[in-house]
């Protein structure tokens, strides 16, 4: 019997007072439904428009609505800030929270800023303020992604050889994304690069053109194909939508389906695994899905870090390598060459406590 492991470890203390900066789709449809499932404690919310914050607060029973994001940042009763503002404004809010030094933790959205330099600055600010910074790289807590990792820790895959993530899906695009000047790599592909890091560690280099290829020193290769158009599906053409991964090793094979971008939107993720000598695949039977269940894990890992006085599982420092990998992908696409992670990521930044 294969043990796929616990999907989202939970903190003993769920009473940390959480303030929600933002009331868009990711907060209203993902974070808050996930938090309510397990009894986390969001106590206040603010948005650019009070009316949208009021609507979300009423839907999810949040007791206090602030008039503005600034008012929420100035609320000394908030222990953890859930920052869900666009990437080009996220650093400013982190800076304001850190300047007050009253919060204990921040859960920041991915990407951690508009570029690698902003991510480094966010880590520095939180380090100096004594605030624990975690990043909402939520795909790590998708049941299939985490289940595959747990299976690999038990030796099911053996030495990894080849891994792919193939996406044919249309993300939940938001108006603010048009303002960034970039879309797929920092918004969607960042999940897949981070998942490869979660499964296999840090790659030596990346080559990006239409697709990003991650190369490891031992010959292991990861390929992500991210098609965020999928043909004229929005124009009425029948479409095959989904995100699938396949992990191949000397000892076994794992195949997962993230159940995302499908109908209903909360279709459960699936995983099937087999090792040498198995007569058939072992298949998952869980009911959890990436959206919203993975968002339990990303907040939980921050709260666990706070109660145990330790680094989060997805710390700001760790996420610098994911941000550097995205930056390297953009450079690779522009220069039409493989770019090593070390060309972007500076080891000196890893010494900062996040």
Tell me: the pLDDT tens digits for 16-71? 999 999 999 999 999 999 999 999 999 999 999 999 999 999 999 999 999 999 99
210 has pLDDT over 50:
no
Sequence-ordered strand ranges (E) for the chain: 17-21, 41-46, 64-65, 80-83, 105-109, 132-136, 160-168, 205-208, 212-215, 221-227, 242-249, 252-257, 270-275, 282-283, 339-340
User: What mean pLDDT value characterizes the chain?
Assistant: 90
Residue 232's SS3 state is coil
Q: Tokens in use for 245? A: 């991964």
Least confident of 63-72, 79-88, 171-180, 234-243: 171-180
Read off the pLDDT of residues 133-188 as tens digits, 9 standing for 90 and up.
999 999 999 999 999 999 999 999 999 988 998 876 667 666 766 676 665 777 77
Residue 226 banded pLDDT, cuts 50, 70, 90: confident
Average pLDDT over residues 70-99: 97
Read off the pLDDT of residues 261-294 as tens digits, 9 standing for 90 and up.
777 667 899 999 999 999 999 999 898 988 899 9
Cβ 291 vs Cβ 265: under 8 Å? yes
216 has pLDDT over 60:
yes
Residue 3 banded pLDDT, cuts 50, 70, 90: confident
Domains of the chain (ranges plus CATH)?
A: 17-139+297-316 (3.40.50.720), 141-290 (3.30.360.10)
Average pLDDT over residues 75-88: 96
Q: Which of 296, 305, 302 is CA-nearest to residue 33? A: 296
pLDDT number for residue 212: 47
Cβ 35 vs Cβ 61: under 8 Å? no
351 has pLDDT over 60:
no
The C-alpha atoms of residue 52 and residue 71 are separated, in whole angstroms, by: 16
What percent of the chain clears pLDDT 90, i.e. is strictly above it? Answer: 68
Residue 191's SS3 state is helix
DSSP code for 281 = -
Average pLDDT over residues 100-125: 95
The C-alpha atoms of residue 194 and residue 209 are separated, in whole angstroms, by: 18
Residue 215 banded pLDDT, cuts 50, 70, 90: low
- Residues across the chain: 354
pLDDT number for residue 140: 94
pLDDT number for residue 175: 73
353 has pLDDT over 70:
no
């Amino acid at each position: 019997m294969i043990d796929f492991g616990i999907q989202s470890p939970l903190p003993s203390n769920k009473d940390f007072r959480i303030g929600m900066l933002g009331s868009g789709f990711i907060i209203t449809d993902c974070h808050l439904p996930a938090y309510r499932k397990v009894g986390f404690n969001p106590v206040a919310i603010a948005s650019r428009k009070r009316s949208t914050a009021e609507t979300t607060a009423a839907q999810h029973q949040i007791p206090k609505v602030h008039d503005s994001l600034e008012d929420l940042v100035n609320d000394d009763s908030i222990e953890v800030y859930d920052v869900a503002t666009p990437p080009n404004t996220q650093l400013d809010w982190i800076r304001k929270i850190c300047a007050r030094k009253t919060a204990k933790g921040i859960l920041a959205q991915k990407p951690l800023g508009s570029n690698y330099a902003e991510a480094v600055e966010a880590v520095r600010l939180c380090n100096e303020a004594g605030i624990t910074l975690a990043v909402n790289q939520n795909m790590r807590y998708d049941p299939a992604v985490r289940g595959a990792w747990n299976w690999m820790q038990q030796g099911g895959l053996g030495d990894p050889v080849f891994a792919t993530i193939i996406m044919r899906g249309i993300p939940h695009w938001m108006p603010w994304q048009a303002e960034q000047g970039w879309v797929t790599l920092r918004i969607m592909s960042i999940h897949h690069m981070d998942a490869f890091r979660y499964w296999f560690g840090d790659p030596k280099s990346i080559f990006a053109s239409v697709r990003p290829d991650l190369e490891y020193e031992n010959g292991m290769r990861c390929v992500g194909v991210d098609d965020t158009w999928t043909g004229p599906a929005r124009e009425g053409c029948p479409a095959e939508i989904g995100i699938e991964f396949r992990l191949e090793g000397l000892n076994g094979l794992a195949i997962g389906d993230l159940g995302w971008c499908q109908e209903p939107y909360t279709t459960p993720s699936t995983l099937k695994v087999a090792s040498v000598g198995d007569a058939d695949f072992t298949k998952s039977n869980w009911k959890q899905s990436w959206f919203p269940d993975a968002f339990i894990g990303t907040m939980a890992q921050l709260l666990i870090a706070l109660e145990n006085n330790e680094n989060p599982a997805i710390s700001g420092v760790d996420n610098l390598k994911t941000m550097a990998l995205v930056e390297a992908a953009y450079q690779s696409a522009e220069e039409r060459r493989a770019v090593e992670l070390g060309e972007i990521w500076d080891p000196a930044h890893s010494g900062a406590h996040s």
